[in-house]
Chain A
Amino acid sequence: QKEVEQNSGPLSVPEGAIASLNCTYSDRGSQSFFWYRQYSGKSPELIMSIYSNGDKEDGRFTAQLNKASQYVSLLIRDSQPSDSATYLCAVRYSSASKIIFGSGTRLSIRP
């Protein structure tokens, strides 16, 4: 089992719709969870971090965390073509400070 798992996609969503991205992780004690966006040829950039169970909203983005199910998700409302990118889920291990990434989900917003 991979430490951090994501569906590789591509996920195609019409402009203006909600995009839903999912991630599961294996380290039950992990406390810090992140979503990074990576455009083609660029470096990853942080868009959301979440540390507690429940939802965290920032503009059009909502991160959801369920530690009991070891599940993190990212919702993007009112999807725009500029949201087309690869979204990387990252988890900080409980026993150390190392941060492990999933393989990423390619998101495509069609006009």
Chain B
Amino acid sequence: DAGVIQSPRHEVTEMGQEVTLRCKPISGHDYLFWYRQTMMRGLELLIYFNNNVPIDDSGMPEDRFSAKMPNASFSTLKIQPSEPRDSAVYFCASSSPGGQNTGELFFGEGSRLTVL
């Protein structure tokens, strides 16, 4: 399998612009997680989905952030309008909850966002 695929790998944008990050989970995985990583706050859970349904979005910082999962093979995280404090590495991860490796996460390579 190709693993979790994220795009873009790097994004530089100006404050106020819309940013869309994309993720393709591993085929057959029914959980998808979006995390944000910064030096100050570490790896924070933003939102996660089960079978394409958002289960917990309590980590989404504010209304400027939204996430969707229209089907089992695609998810987006959108920031509109973007602000400099949104600069971070955004990771997507997928997992399958059953079996011995319950909850093991497989991460994508991340999308490094810089908002000027």
Contacts and interface: CB of A to CB of B under 8 A. Distances in A.
Interface of A: 31-32, 34, 36, 42-46, 49, 51, 88, 90, 92, 96-104
A46 B48 contact: no
Q: Specify the main secondary structure of chain B where it touches its partner.
A: strand
B88 to A, nearest CB: 14
Given A96-B55, A98-B45, A49 B104 contact: yes
A97 B43 contact: no
A85 to B, nearest CB: 14
A107 B41 CA distance: 18
A38 B95 CA distance: 18
Contact of A43 (B31, B41, B45, B108): B108
B42 interface: yes
A68 B85 CA distance: 39
B48 A44 contact: no
Given A43-B110, A104-B43, A99 B102 contact: no
B83 interface: no
Interface residues of B, number: 24
Among B41, B43, B56, B106, max chain A CB count under 10 A is at B43
A100 B45 CA distance: 7
Given A96-B56, A101-B42, A102-B42, A51 B102 contact: yes
Given A43-B110, A88-B43, A102-B42, A97 B97 contact: yes
B114 interface: no
A71 B31 CA distance: 26
A90 B105 contact: yes
Nearest to B108: A43
A45 B101 contact: no
Nearest to B35: A101
